[in-house]
Copies of this chain bind each other. A is one copy, B any other.
Amino acid sequence: MYSSLMEEYDAFKAKNLSLNMARGKPSPEQLDLSMDLLNKIESLNVKDSIDIRNYGGLDGLTEMKELFAQLLQVDTNEVIVGGNSSLSLMHDTISRALLKGVVDSDAPWVKAPKVKFLCPSPGYDRHFAICEMYDIEMITIDMLDDGPDMDQVEELVRNDDTIKGIWCVPKYSNPEGTTYSDEVVDRLANMETKAKDFRIFWDDAYTVHHLTDNPPILKSILKACKDAGNPNRVFIFASTSKVTFPGSGVAVMAASEENISFTKKLLGVQTIGADKINQLRHVHFLKDAAHVKHHMKKHAEIVKPKFDLVLNKLESELGKEGIASWSKPEGGYFISLNTLDGCAAEVVKLASAAGVTLTGAGATYPYGKDPRDRNIRIAPTFPGLTELEAAMDVFCLCVKLASIKKLLEQ
Contacts and interface: CB of A to CB of B under 8 A. Distances in A.
Contacts of A130: 269-270
Interface string A86-118: 011001100110111000000000100000000
Contacts of A14: none
Contacts of A40: 38-40
A17 interface: no
Contacts of A129: 269
A394 to B, nearest CB: 24
Interface string A23-55: 101101001001000111100100000011111
A272 B82 CA distance: 14
A88 B275 contact: no
A84 interface: yes
Counting every copy of the chain, the complex holds 2
Interface string A51-62: 111111100000
A276 interface: yes
Contacts of A266: 133
A204 to B, nearest CB: 17
Contacts of A248: 52-53, 275-278
Question: Could you say which of A96, A275, A277, A278 has the most chain B C-beta atoms within 10 Å of its C-beta?
Answer: A275
Contacts of A148: none
A367 interface: no
A214 interface: no
Q: Dominant SS at the A interface?
A: loop
Nearest to A110: B110
- Chain A interface size range: 35 or more
Contacts of A39: 40
Contacts of A55: 23, 25, 241, 246-247
Contacts of A326: none
Given A56-B247, A270-B91, A275-B248, A51 B23 contact: no
Nearest to A84: B275
A134 B96 CA distance: 10
Contacts of A88: 270-271
Contacts of A28: 51, 54
Contacts of A384: none
A247 B99 contact: no
A105 to B, nearest CB: 15
Contacts of A276: 247-248
B272 A246 contact: yes
Given A38-B44, A54-B246, A247-B273, 15 more contacts: A28-B51, A28-B54, A38-B277, A56-B247, A84-B272, A84-B275, A88-B270, A92-B270, A98-B99, A99-B110, A126-B269, A133-B269, A247-B272, A247-B275, A275-B275
30 contacts: A25-B54, A25-B55, A31-B51, A38-B44, A40-B40, A53-B246, A55-B241, A55-B247, A56-B247, A83-B84, A85-B272, A87-B270, A88-B270, A88-B271, A91-B269, A92-B270, A95-B95, A95-B99, A99-B99, A99-B110, A130-B269, A130-B270, A133-B266, A133-B269, A241-B272, A247-B273, A247-B274, A248-B277, A248-B278, A275-B275
Interface of A: 23, 25-26, 28, 31, 34, 38-41, 44, 51-57, 83-85, 87-88, 91-92, 95-96, 98-100, 110, 126, 129-130, 133-134, 241, 245-248, 266, 269-278
